[in-house]
Structure 1
Amino acid sequence: MRARIVIIGGGPSGLLLSQLLHLSGVETVVLERRPRAYVMARVRAGVLEWGTVETLREAGVGERMDREGFVHEGVYLSAQNRGFRVPLKERAGRPVLVYGQTEVTRDLYDARDAADGAVIDEAAGVEIHGVDGRTPHVTYRKDGRECRIDCDYVIGCDGFHGVSRGVIPKTVLREYERVYPFGWLGVLSESHPVSDELIYANSTRGFALCSMRNEGLSRYYVQTEVDEDPAAWSDSRFWDELKRRIPEAAADVLTTGRITEKSLAPLRSYVAEPMRWGRLFLVGDAAHIVPPTGAKGLNLAVSDVHYLHRALVALYRDGSEEGIDRYSDLALARVWKSVRFSWWMTTMLHRFPDQTPFDQRIQESEIDYLEHSGAAQTVMAENYVGLPF
């Protein structure tokens, strides 16, 4: 088989790039090692920057998102069980949209199916060959057969643990990482959200977040030890701890429901440079990871797709290599700004193992400054709703 472009990874970034390139007349093959049902069952973040919203509309997958998503024009912060609102749209000119990543993935799969797009799931043993030359190819196993695709370029959208980044020689690859000494215990609850907008809570007991998926499905998190066993947390223990950390006004009206999912997520900041080596390009989690505090993971992947889509279209339509030559530097400039913002949100809101009373008061003073400074709120709002692509 031959294809212009092979995309490794059938998550939202790989599917989105495939869909945008299809609309631009550039066909692709997407390889995903997991069954589609597994990909669709993954529960991920749901806060979309407005640039992400516009990109999904450009890809022709915005109809259900616009109908079912929740526009949030603000966000709440709290310390010592007292909260205040940062008016995002007023400060930054744009809101965010709450729409689950699972739903984004579903919409993209539907679009690729409607276009008869080549999305091959359960592609095992994927290997990348020859991207340092002019004739790359990808091999994999499917239904017991060895398969090969010759191509012009390979796009790694296969996440932090995928095969793509490992192809770049260690003498070339530069890696930057910070692993945080805590995790997030998250639950999905069949209950009405406690707030019409997200609540980020700093507490002497640890961080908490109140989020949502829709009017009848809430997403809540509490900071825990990084090796915490979710099974050790009964439902009642989780609800009691959450109420102790969020603003009293929210705790008083919190509606508990049946918990359908409970999991632990470790937190890290990670960046790999460069994001291009030869005829291989990295996109999304294959190149960078951010803690979920700033809601940047999926949105950063979409901005990578935005830059790479335009670069590849310019290459195939006009023969211009300027876009692909600039892709890594252009994407990384935005990546590092989002990594900084996510790090800032994380350090301001979480309790660290060696934290002293002085450190706690510094965090509380930072949050107090945000409450009373329009300039500080503007800086936060501009970053939270998303810097321009």
Structure 2
Amino acid sequence: MEIRFADVEPGGVALSEGQRRAWLKLIRSENVGPVTFRQLINHFGAASAALDALPDLARRGGAQRRVRIATDAEIDRELAAAEAAGARFVALGEPTFPPLLRRIEGPPPIIAVAGGEGVLVRPGIGIVGARNASISGRKIAGQFARGLGSAGFVVVSGLARGIDAAAHEGSIDTGTIAVLAGGLDRLYPPENIDLARRIREAHGALVSEMPFGWEPRARDFPRRNRLISGLSLGVVVVEAAARSGSLHTARFAAEQGREVFAVPGSPLDPRAEGANDLIREGATLVTKPDHVVEALAPLIGERFALPEAEEPARDDLDFSGEPTDAARRLVIEALGPTPTAVDEIIRATGLSPGAVQYVLLELDLAGRLERQGQGRVSLLM
């Protein structure tokens, strides 16, 4: 079964080189994540104005030292590294920014891309699974990748050993995206460097939200997994242990409103335990690519049928002036190490949504706040 996808209307406006540089400098500055970045841009109107405001915002949030802002020299080096690698930076809202990724909560403001641009705007399906995959698991992943590629999907995975590598190999000819946990010049694992080269040569793409020169750490892989699901209409899990990064990808997919599929395995194989658990918890059982295509067909329609991500209704800094010290105390007292919904903080404090969000922004820039997703935050003790 083949699904024909309508062309994606190019949307958005390309940034000027000066704007792109300012966006890169802002997102590379200390304690600025995707949600904070968006709030800063929305409130101050431009990245350059937000950069000027960072030190005072962090100081009012209780920072013990001056917040570190990326230097011009660092941005020069990263831009030079991207040029040397044949890569480019694509910003949220530009025509070639992946439309599916744009619709998740807190999308990355800017991504580094090496390879073809065409795969970025086509509907994707993630295929993930065990690094220590069995021969059978790798064969199944390759079959799914070839079948889904033939049906018109771009296959998205994480360039890891095992299932990821098999998924990329199976879809090189039809289009594949490899999402990296480190910088585009820090490919991991080293044995897949040649695979990454072949993906680029076949007009697939390598994607990362991390800076050039960034060596991937264990805590960077969940961020990568969130982008894999964000680039996809659904995620297929093949061979995943009970404690597996692939299950993180499935969880992110569910949170983002994407479909979760799992290939069942033997109850005697620990590598199948996570996938079998997903099925028990409600994931769609699939044994061949057509099952995935049939499940996604109603979502396609004339264009991607996924709705735009619903940002929290009270996420804007629609607040004039600056919160009082009393307001800051109320917000801090309402916070704790347990994740709390922002709406609950607003109700508990009696403050306006804009005032609460402004205080949270200050705490975030001071390194005192952790954003848990789905509109929840916690105070770092």
Task: Give TM-score, length-normalised by structure 1.
Answer: 0.29
Task: Give TM-score, length-normalised by structure 2.
Answer: 0.30
1 or 2 for the larger relative contact order (CA 8 Å, sep ≥6)? 1
| Greater fraction of residues in strand | 1
